[in-house]
Amino acid sequence: MIAGSRLQSVCRVWLQAVQAFRQGWVHFDLPIKESTQTRVVEFTEISVQGAIAKVGKQLLEEKVHFEEQKTKDVEEFVKLCTCTQESYPGFKKYDLFQIVDGTENFSEKRIVGSGGFGTVYKGELSDGTIVAIKRFDEHATDFNSEVQLLRLQHCNIVKLLGWCVHGKERILVYEFIHNGSLDFIIFDKTKGPLLTWYKRFGIIKGLADGLVYMHKHPLLWMMHGDMKPDNVLLDHDMNPKIADFGSARTLSSEAGQGQTSRVVGTRGYIAPEYASRGLYSLKIDVFSFGVLALVIISGRKNAILQQKGMAYVECWKAA
């Protein structure tokens, strides 16, 4: 009864044949003219082209926004460094040629560290001074916290020497600490045992002195935010230097606190309230320092890799 009748629809399709009725399902054999097929193909091509054009437009807009933001970040970096240089004459501006020459054009063999911020190179200036050169990647936004480091002048905090901006390049220059980071020594089977109890105590005390200075500074109260063996450098005499202030935050007072949705830290060292709710204060460093002290005493990592994943252990019981 349906065959030959006219069905009203958006496309007004003429039904010309009926194959069969099966269990309430109707199967139609609809002959399609060649011209109709051509229109379908053309419509499909237009739809695909439109989708590609839309995606291309979005990507272009995102690229333009990214370039504008990158330019804005560089301008902000220059302004911050220039103002800091006026307040601290010892904070020097370096030419990019000096940086490139001192790192052999950012050679891979000069790399001494890397992370989400960018890459750190061992460099040598024209006067023979050995320095650590931090080259920020284009996505980095933590350079403001790093420049704040200049206000902190303490024997247990790594010293910031200068800066360099050229085009989109953003670079900070630090004193070079020859023995590298604590994690390369404390966990090494050969070097670790050479750290006597006296030296371990000296490292813990030095870190405590540096943190107290940061937390009670008369001009700013700074939370480091990522205290761990990787961010502790050791000089020739095994004196510790707190480094990498990319996760640092300044507070309004010693008792100041805040909350953030951007939690930055290292699992196993990060305080529970900061990791779960984004609540931060100077107490965050105290928690991390406690874990770090136990790691230094035991000489063991606070986490071990097991078959089921990462398991966090009481490092002081693993000794």
Q: Is the pLDDT of residue 187 over 80?
A: yes
Which is nearest to 243 in space by CA: 232, 251, 254? 232
Determine if residue 92 is labeled as part of a ligand binding site. Answer: no
- Alpha-carbon distance of 128 to 142, in angstroms, equals 29
Average pLDDT over residues 180-204: 94
Q: Where are the domains of the chain?
A: 64-176, 179-319
Q: Which of 39-43, 65-69, 168-172 has the least mean pLDDT? A: 65-69
Q: Is the pLDDT of residue 247 over 90?
A: no
* Range picked from 5-14, 23-32, 39-48 for highest mean pLDDT: 39-48
Q: Is the pLDDT of residue 78 over 60?
A: yes
- Count other Cβ atoms within 10 Å, centred on residue 160: 24
Residue-wise pLDDT for 103-154, tens only, equals: 999 999 999 988 767 899 999 999 999 999 999 887 666 677 777 777 788 9
- CATH code, 64-176: 3.30.200.20
Which CATH homologous superfamily contains domain 179-319?
Transferase(Phosphotransferase) domain 1 (1.10.510.10)
> Which pLDDT score is estimated for 84?
63
Q: How buried is 43 (Cβ within 10 angstroms: 0-12 exposed, 13-18 middle, 19+ buried)?
A: exposed
Q: Is the pLDDT of residue 170 over 80?
A: yes
- Alpha-carbon distance of 201 to 138, in angstroms, equals 40
User: Annotated active-site positions, please?
Assistant: 226
- Alpha-carbon distance of 199 to 299, in angstroms, equals 13
